[in-house]
Structure 1
Amino acid sequence: MKLLLLLGLVALSQCLVSRVPLRRAKTLRQSLQEHGLLEDYLKKHPYNLADKYFPKQHSAEPMTNFLDNSYFGTISIGTPPQKFTVIFDTGSSNLWVPSVYCSSPGCKDHRRFNPAESSTFVGTNESLYIAYGTGSMTGVLGYDNVKVADIKVIDQIFGLAETEPGNFFSYCLFDGILGLAFPSIASSGATPVFDNMMSEGLVAKDLFSVYLSKDEQKGSFVLFGAIDHAYTTNGIHWIPLSAETYWQITMDSVSIGGEPVACSNGCQAIVDTGTSLLAVPNGALNAILGALGVSVGSNGQISCSAISSLPDVVFNIHGNAFAVPPRAYVIEMAGSCMLGFQGMNVPTEAGELWILGDVFIREYYVIFDRANNMVGLSRLS
C-alpha cells in the first residue's frame, strides 16, 4: 500500500484533466485598449522583428526524472524572471503556476508568482478553472513574458492559481503545469505556450520532441522546434492524429503473445507525458491482467521475481507494433513490484480512451508534429 500511495502522491498519472468550457479570454490588446493603456504599453514593449526573421533553430529544456514517476523542468515568468518548476504536459493545454493570492497548502509549499514584482505583468478579470482526477485549481488569467529554455515568449497568457483545494499538489515536487496539447481544449480559451512559439516564429519547425530517461537517470528533455536524430537511429514511425484536441491517435489492437487481448476492433489513445502509468479502460485492464496471469484482485501487485517470465505488451498502431517489455511496465520501488497499468474509464465519442503515459513513452523518442498533425515514434535502443 505504501507503493500505491506514493505513486498517487508524486505522479500526475492520477490527474486526468477535465476541461470546463468558460468564456474565451480577451486578447491582451483588447484588455489594454479597454483600459486606455494600449499606447503606453506598446512604447514599453516594442515588437522585435529579429524574432520573426531570425528565429531560434531549436531549444532544449532539460527535465528532472523523479522516481520514473514525473518529469519536470524550469521556466521563468515576469521581469525580473521568477522561476517555477512545471510538468510539460501533452495531455492538457494551459500554463498555470501558484500565485501569492493563494493560501491553499498546495500553494504554500511551492514558489508563488507575485505580479507586483514583475514590470511586464498585465492582469485581467478572466477566471480559470481546471479539474484533475485528484485535485483542481482556480485562479485568474494574466499576461507576462515566459521563458522556456532559451525561448522567450512575449505576453503569454497564463493562470495564477488562487486556490488548490485538497492535499494532492502539496506532495508534488513541481509548482505548476505547462500544457502542450491543442488550443481546442484550453480552459478559458487561453492560447497555449507552444502555439505562441509557432505564431511568433520562435521555433524553426512547428514541432517538439520528448525523451524520458529510465531508472531515474539524468538526460530527459523536451526539445522545441527540432528532432534530435541521435535518438532516431531506429527510424521514425509516423502516426496521423485522429483528433486535434489531445495528441490523440487510433490504435488497431493490443496484443500479448501474438494474440489480441484488448482494443480488438480499434480504439482511441492519447500520448500523454503528464500521465505516469498506462491508463486503460477497466474491462481492458482485466483482460490484460488475465493474459499476464495476474489476479484481478491483486491491485496489480506481483512478485518481483516474476518479471523475467512476463511477455511484452504490444500496442499495434497504424500498421506497426510498438512493444513495451516487462522491465518497462513493471514498477519496482522499495522492494515491491506492481504493474504500471491503471484502470480508468474515459468515454469519448469514439469509445473509451487509452492513455499512453510515461511507461510507454520511456521506450520511444516521441515527436509531436503540429505542422502535419502527426506523432512520430522511434524505438530507443
Structure 2
Amino acid sequence: MKWLVFLGLAALSECLVRVPLIKVKSMREKLQENGMLKEYLEKYPNSPAKFLSNNQNKKVTYESLRNYLDLAYVGLITIGTPPQTFKVVFDTGSADLWVPSVFCKTPSCDIHQRFNPWRSSTFKLPPGPVRPVKLRYGSGDILGVVAQDTLKIGDLEDVDQAFVLSTWEDHVFGAFAPFDGILGLGYPDGVQAGGTPVFDNIWKKGLITANFFAFYLTSRGKAGSMLILGDVDHSYYSGELRWVPVTKQQYWQIAMDRISVNGIIIACHNGCQAILDTGTSFVNGPYEDVLNIQNVIRAHHTFIDMYVSDCNTITHLPDVVFVIGGINYPVPSRSYIRKDAFGFCVSTFNSFSDYLFTSKTWILGDVFLREYFSVYDRANNRVGLAPAI
C-alpha cells in the first residue's frame, strides 16, 4: 500500500508544471513615484472604445477594459534555440503572446529584452506572405509580425508556437513596464493575431495531463506566487473549490450575483458579469457603482485621480463581499486598501475612466485573486475559487 501511495504522489508531481511568478511594482506605482502619474493620465486617457463587443447587434456594448497601468506579476519564459529569456505577464484577460523584437526601434523596446530571430535555429515564419498585426490593449497598441519558434514555460517545450514579434510599441510599454511581453491565457476567440493560443497548443500536443491551469498570488511581501499548468495543488488553498460556469468563452467571464457590505447591496444590484483578470491589479467597475463603494469605505478623491482613506481607520473598514454563485467572497480592507510610496492609503477600486462607458461588466483583478486561489477549467468551461492560504 505504501508503494501505491508513493507511486500516486510521483504521478501527481509529474502532472504539475509550476511557473514561479514575481510580484513587482505596477506601472501606476512607478509613474506615481516619479511624479508622472497625473501628467500621464491627462495625456493618455484610457479609451474603452477599443473594446467594443464583436456581437453588437446595433447596440454598442463595451466590455473588458484592459488597464495595463496596473500589471504586477511576471514570470519567465524562453523562446528560440538556444533560448532567449523574457519576463512576461501571464494574463487571463487576453489570448496573444508577444515579445519585443530587434526590429523594434521605439524607446519602449530599447529598454527591454528583444528577440533576435537570427540567433535561433528553430525560428520560422508561417507559410505565405509576412503577416503584420496590431494588438490593441486598453492603454496602447502593439504592431508586429506573426512568427513561430520553440517556447519553453517551466519544463514544457512547445515547438512551433505562433507568437507576435513587436516592431512598434506604444509609450505605455516603455520604461515603467515591469515586463517584456504578455502571454495571454484567454480563450481562442480572444486572439487578435490569429493562430492557436499557447495554452490550447500545450494541451493539444499532450504536454499536460489535464486541460486547466491555476493561479496562486501572494500579497504583503510574501514569496511563492505560482502559475500551475495541468493540475491543482491543494496545498495552496483551504476548504473546497467552488465552481462557476463561464458565461462567455472569450475571457474568463462569469456571472456575479451582487456586491455587498454588512449585508447591504452596494453594487451589481440586479446581477452583472465579471471577468477574472490576472493582468489587472485593481477591481474595475462601472463609475456609479464604484463611487458608491468609495463612499461606503470612506475614500475621497484626489487630484491625481485616486481615492484615498485615512490610514488610521483601515482596520475598522468593513469587508467588501462579492457574491458569486450564491457564495460570499469577502475582500478585507487590508487587501483593498494599499499604502503607496508616499504613505497614502489608496483604494484599489477603480472606475472605468470614460463615464460614457455603460457596461455592467466588472474586472476582478489581483486585489480579488490574491484572496482566492483560482482554477481555470477549459475542459468544462468553468472557474474554481477557494480561499488562498
AA aligned opposite 1:328? S
Instruction: Report what 1:112 is aligned to.
Output: 114
Q: 1:1-381 to 2 correspondence within 5 Å? A: 57-67=15-25, 70-124=72-126, 125-295=130-300, 299-334=306-341, 335-344=343-352, 351-381=359-389
Are the counterparts in 1 of residues 73 and 89 from structure 2 also a CA contact under 8 Å? Answer: yes
Give the partner amino acid of 1:159.
V
Structure-1 residue corresponding to 2:63: none
Q: Note the C-alpha offset of 1:165.
A: 2.3
Structure 1 residue 189 displacement after superposition: 1.8
Is the contact made by 2:216 and 2:388 (CA closer than 8 Å) also made in structure 1? no
Q: Distance in 2 between matches of 1:171 and 1:82?
A: 22
Query: Are residues 365 and 355 of structure 1, via their aligned partners in 2, closer, same or farther at CA, if it must alter by over 3 Å?
Result: same
What is the DSSP-based 3-state SS (H/G/I as helix, E as strand, rest coil) of the residue aligned with 2:361? strand
Contact 2:294 2:349 in 1 (8 A): no
Task: Quickly say closer, same or farther: Cα 1:173–1:296, change in 2 above 3 A.
Answer: closer
Letter matched to residue 22 of structure 2: T
Per-residue deviation, 1:98? 0.1
Contact 1:93 1:186 in 2 (8 A): yes
Tell me the distance in 1 between the aligned counterparts of 2:245 and 2:353: 24
- What SS does structure 1 have at the residue aligned with 2:385? strand
1:194 and 1:181 map into 2 onto residues whose CA distance is: 9
Q: Is the 8 A contact 1:267 1:351 kept in 2?
A: no
Report the Cα offset of residue 130 of structure 1: 1.3
Determine the C-alpha separation between the residues in 2 that align with 1:96 and 1:216: 29
Secondary structure in structure 2 of the residue aligned to 1:219: coil
Shift of 1:346: 8.9
Q: Distance in 1 between matches of 2:353 and 2:326?
A: 25
In structure 1, give the amino acid aligned to 2:246. L
SS of 1:308 mapped into structure 2: helix
**Could you tell me the percent identity over the aligned residues?**
42
Residues 309 and 194 (structure 1), Cα distance of their counterparts in 2 relative to 1, 3 Å cut: same
Instruction: State the alpha-carbon separation in 2 of the partners of residues 233 and 309 from structure 1.
Output: 26
Using the alignment, how far apart are the partners of 1:222 and 1:233 within structure 2? 18
- Report the alpha carbon displacement of residue 242 of structure 1 after superposing the two structures with TM: 0.5
1: CA distance between counterparts of 2:349 and 2:320? 11
Question: 1:353/1:346 Cα in 2 relative to 1: closer, same or farther (>3 Å)?
Answer: farther
8 Å contact from structure 2 (residues 25, 178) kept in 1: no
Task: Give the counterpart letter for 1:101 in structure 2.
Answer: F
Q: Aligned partners of 1:364, 1:332: CA distance in 2, in Å?
A: 21
Structure 1: distance between partners of 2:14 and 2:209 = 6
TM-score w.r.t. the length of structure 2 is 0.80
CA distance in 2, matches of 1:275, 1:252: 22
* Inter-partner Cα distance in structure 2 for 1:228 and 1:323: 23
Conserved in 1, the CA contact under 8 Å of 2:300 and 2:309? no
Aligned-pair distance for 1:293? 2.7
Q: Is the CA contact 2:239–2:386 (under 8 Å) kept in the aligned structure 1?
A: yes
TM-score by length of 1: 0.82
- Distance (whole Å) between structure 2 residues aligned to residue 167 and residue 365 of structure 1: 29
How far, CA to CA, are the matches of 1:160 and 1:211 in structure 2? 29
* Distance in 2 of aligned mates of 1:368 and 1:225: 10
Secondary structure of the equivalent of 2:175?
helix
Corresponding residue number in structure 2 for 1:37: none
SS in structure 1 at match of 2:383: strand
| 8 Å Cα contact 1:137-1:161 kept in structure 2 | yes
Q: Matched residues in 1 for 2:316 and 2:14: separation?
A: 48
